[in-house]
Amino acid sequence: MRTNAIAASIMALAVTLAGCEQTSADANGQTVGASQLRWSSSSARQLRNALDQRAMHGLDHLTFAADGASQADEALTQEALRYARALAQGAASPEELFEIYTIRRPHPDLLQGLRQALAEDKLDNWLNSLAPQSDAYRRLSQAYKDLKAKKAAPAPQIPLKDDPVEPGDSDPRVPAIARQLAASDYLSNTPGSVDRYTPDMVRAVKRMQADYGIRPDGIIGKDALEILNLSDADRARALAVAMERLRWLDRNPPATRIDVNTAAGQLTYWRNGKAVDTRKAIVGEPGKETPQLGSPIYRLVANPTWTIPRSIQEKEFAGKDRAYLHSHNMAWQDGWIVQQSGPDNALGLVKFDMKNDHAIYLHDTPAKSLFDQVQRQRSHGCVRVEDAPGFAEMLARDEGVLDQWRKAREKGEETFVSLPREIPVRLLYQTVLFDAGGEPVVRADPYGWNDRVAAALGFAPGNSHLLRTSNSDVGP
């Protein structure tokens, strides 16, 4: 099923990339077609040079016609627009690759930009300006180029041997295993160059094994090594996908916003262009994935009730009697099961209402222990926020409604506090993070969503290990 979907998406992408015959209005209001642009030998050379260097954007697995001998103006125009679109908006369309993608995207006038670049003989400068100019993108690009210089060896970094690594063993593979456990957040302190498999590492491995459906015995066998093992080729693939995902995003996001990285289970609050708060988040489990949405918070809800969606009601509540409902402060109301306000409500004490067609929002939770998990894809699709009451207090203070919010909390019943302005939220998916030194760290791909992006970029399939969860509760 997934293979067919990816194939269909790539077919749609090919049609999109081929359809570059655009029109644009010049200063006199006259329509100028792409076929009317004229190329100098200098501009043609600049395009060839740019395409020769496309590995800096992770686009070296895609073929462009201008790589060949054709020098016809129209052919050069078509390929310049195709490459420009890949840099400015992404080589793939996320709306084609994913059922739901509503995050704001860039929409520059590429034809007008190309026209001006050709007129000024500055095609190289224009193309260089189209990709993201952020430090994150530059670091990803540099890391990708470094791996390409090594020719991205397909062999795994940690040798796969027949003998497993058991607790207490000394093994030359241990330092590399420890580094990857730390990069994946399972281990806080790495033992450096020590090659003994320590108790701290054993505990970390057991947590990882449980997350991926492997018997949590702490023995590092073939299955565990395959999860920990990333070859240079695997890393290069992940870096290229990370760059593509950044190219999908608006270059000037709102200075005040909330970004949730669902792949990492992490929320970042930006205020006036600065990241002022970062905290953990619980997001949808595989099969109930949190979609990639751009959707604003428009009000805070104190002491929320929870009207249980039909999908959860029909599955998790099938066969539940009135005694069960009563014990969980629930009752039937107008054909729906509604859980009343209280600390045991599945939404906790705070809900952050958002505007979207998918019933996705941020909220508190009584299940605090889930925030201690490394892989925090545990919900039915909504986003649970660590210390949500504290976060709501922060937003209310920043938005000038703190007094109203505190009074609403004190009422003990469901009360709504509108925000004077909406706060944009982006539910992103990014599997490459940065360590304290600014180096890219490849993390898990819990939904397997990188596969279809990598395929659209021309990469061969990689080894993906999907998170397996079995302890999600009935909350949204």
- pLDDT (tens digit per residue) in 142-194: 999 998 888 655 556 777 777 899 999 999 889 889 988 888 888 887 666 67
Q: What is the pLDDT of residue 199?
A: 93
Assess if residue 200 is contained within a domain: no
Q: Range with the lowest mean pLDDT among 143-157, 193-207, 316-330?
A: 143-157
Question: Cα–Cα distances in Å, from 224 out to 172, 179, 230?
Answer: 16, 14, 12
What angle separates helix 110-120 from helix 123-130, to the nearest 10 degrees?
A: 150
pLDDT at 79 over 90: yes
Which tokens go with 8? 């269909």
Tell whether 261 and 119 lie within a shared domain: no
Per-residue pLDDT band at 442 (split at 50, 70, 90): confident
Q: Please indicate, yes or no, whether residues 262 and 404 belong to a single structural domain of this protein.
A: yes
Residue 26 structural domain: 2-132
Query: Which of 64-73, 298-307, 313-322 is most confident?
Result: 298-307
Structure tokens at 330: 């629930």
pLDDT of 65: 74
Question: Domain end: 389, 404, 430, which one?
Answer: 430
Q: Is the pLDDT of residue 19 over 50?
A: no
Same domain, yes or no, for 275 and 416? yes
Least confident interval from 47-56, 151-160, 169-178, 340-349: 151-160
Q: Are strands 336-339 and 440-442 parallel, antiparallel or unpaired?
A: unpaired
Domain boundary among 86, 101, 132: 132
Decide if 382 is catalytic. yes
Is 106 inside any structural domain? yes
Q: How far from 463 is each of 93, 158, 232, 235, CA to CA, in Å?
A: 23, 15, 13, 11
Provide, rounded to the nearest whole percent, the portion of the chain with pLDDT above 90.
66
Lowest-confidence pick of 214-218, 274-278, 357-361, 459-463: 459-463
Query: What is the DSSP code (8-state) at residue 413?
Result: S
Report if residue 465 sits inside a domain: no
Instruction: Indicate whether 453 belongs to any domain.
Output: no
Q: What single-letter DSSP state applies at residue 56? A: G
From 344, 410, 350, select the one nearest 384 (Cα to Cα).
350
**For the chain, what is the domain count?**
2
Of 469, 429, 421, the residue nearest 445 (C-alpha): 429
With b meaning 16 or more CB within 10 Å and e meaning fewer, what string describes 262-283? Answer: bbbbbbbbbbeeeeeeeebbbb
Tokens for 103, please give them. Answer: 């995050």
- Whether 291 and 426 share a structural domain: yes
| Pair 117, 259 in one domain | no
Residue with tokens 């190329």, as numbered in its chain: 39
Let me know whether 281 and 412 are in one domain.
yes
Q: Would you say residue 269 lies in a domain?
A: yes
pLDDT for the residue 184: 82
State yes or no: pLDDT of 214 exceeds 80.
yes
Domain assignment present for residue 167? The answer is no
Record the pTM: 0.86
Amino acid letter, residue 119: A
Last residue of a domain, one of 405, 430, 455: 430
Helix (H) / strand (E) containing 73: helix 73-89
Domain assignment of residue 46, yes or no: yes
Active-site residue identified among 57, 328, 363, 380:
363
Residues 6+ apart with CB under 8 A from 177: 158, 165, 197, 201, 220, 225, 228
Say whether both 116 and 262 belong to one domain.
no
pLDDT bin (cut points 50, 70, 90) of residue 231 is confident
Separation between Cα atoms, residue 290 and residue 298, nearest integer Å: 19
Q: 363 in a domain, yes or no? A: yes
C-alpha distances in Å from residue 334, one per residue of 101, 308, 337, 414: 33, 12, 8, 18
Q: What is the pLDDT of residue 23?
A: 41
Q: CATH number, domain at 363?
A: 2.40.440.10
